[in-house]
A and B are shown apart, each in its own frame.
Chain A
Amino acid sequence: MWPLLNFLLTFIIELIIFYLFFRKNYLKTAFYVLFINLFTWPIANLIYSVWPFLFFIEMGVLIIEGFFIMLLFKFNWKKAFLISFVANFISSLVGLILS
């Protein structure tokens, strides 16, 4: 149950941050953010269970998510990576505080 709650929390936090940057096509945005997170979140957790270096894992997630945001939302790379950075920074921070 815990992993599912962790995932939902990450998804909700990142979605709120996306809505701060991108205020149209709410459903489509939620759909894209969901699939981006369904790709990065399980892989990040799997890697963390065998290689517990959170900073480097988060850096990898930031790059992959930035790349997907760029392709799916057609943002320029600066905006895509800024959204990815803010979303991952805040979700990691909340995760660290809660743990």
Chain B
Amino acid sequence: MKKIILLVFLLAFAFLPLVSADIIEPGYKYIPIYNYITNINDFPDYAFISTGSLGPDMCPVKVIDSSGKIESYYKFCGVSVYAIKKSELKEEDLENLSRENFEAFFSNNTIKVIGDLQTSKYIPVSSTENSITNYYIVDLDKLKISPDSKTIGRNWLFYFYIIIPIIALIIIGLIIWKRKNVASA
């Protein structure tokens, strides 16, 4: 019995880092990163699928539709996008993917076009960012690991961070100006 309890404790400690990885530190937050393929319709013979490095259970394979939007994933997925000839894509193949045949499927049938893609970001709460949208122009002969362009959505703090310093600077300037005028009078 004691051995079982000890084993349970050891296992609990072994998995503790994984559990604490999901805890958000005070003063930090997650923001979404939206990812789009802008030229998906330039490849009518190809389908584009996304998946993550943790395997199909944690990071399921998703087919990217004509809007080019890459769906979001669990933060540790390490998402990649693959191109596959439509003639070689069978829905049942994707449904039957398991940990065992996962790597073989992607190394044999597909072309990796985007790697190291993130769908969320960990930032300080004082940050003005509230979302990021990345745009990728894919090329079947080239692996992209960074977006071609991005837009950053800002929250109200952005205006606070701009307007307040301007007002403060004006007031400081007025104090100095007034003091100079009094001194010269």
Contact = CB atoms under 8 A, between A and B. Distances in A.
A39 B165 contact: yes
Contacts of A43: 161, 165
B72 interface: no
A81 interface: no
A71 B164 CA distance: 20
A22 interface: no
Contact of B172 (A2, A36, A42): A36
**Interface residues on chain A, size class:** 20 to 34
A38 B171 CA distance: 11
- Give the secondary structure class of B's interface: helix
A46 interface: yes
A76 interface: no
Nearest to B123: A49
Contacts of B126: 2-3, 6, 45, 48-49
Contacts of A72: 172, 175-176
B157 A3 contact: yes
A77 interface: no
A35 interface: yes
**Interface residues on chain B, size class:** 20 to 34
A47 to B, nearest CB: 9
B101 to A, nearest CB: 41
Contacts of A48: 124, 126-127
A25 interface: no
A2 B129 contact: no
A49 B172 contact: no
A97 to B, nearest CB: 12
Contacts of A32: 175
B48 to A, nearest CB: 30
A35 B168 CA distance: 5
Interface in A39-79: 39-40, 42-43, 45-46, 48-49, 68, 71-72
Given A2-B27, A3-B157, A38 B176 contact: no
Nearest to B175: A72
Nearest 6 CB-CB pairs, A to B? A38-B168, A42-B161, A39-B168, A49-B127, A2-B125, A46-B161
Interface of A: 2-3, 6, 32, 35-36, 38-40, 42-43, 45-46, 48-49, 68, 71-72, 98-99
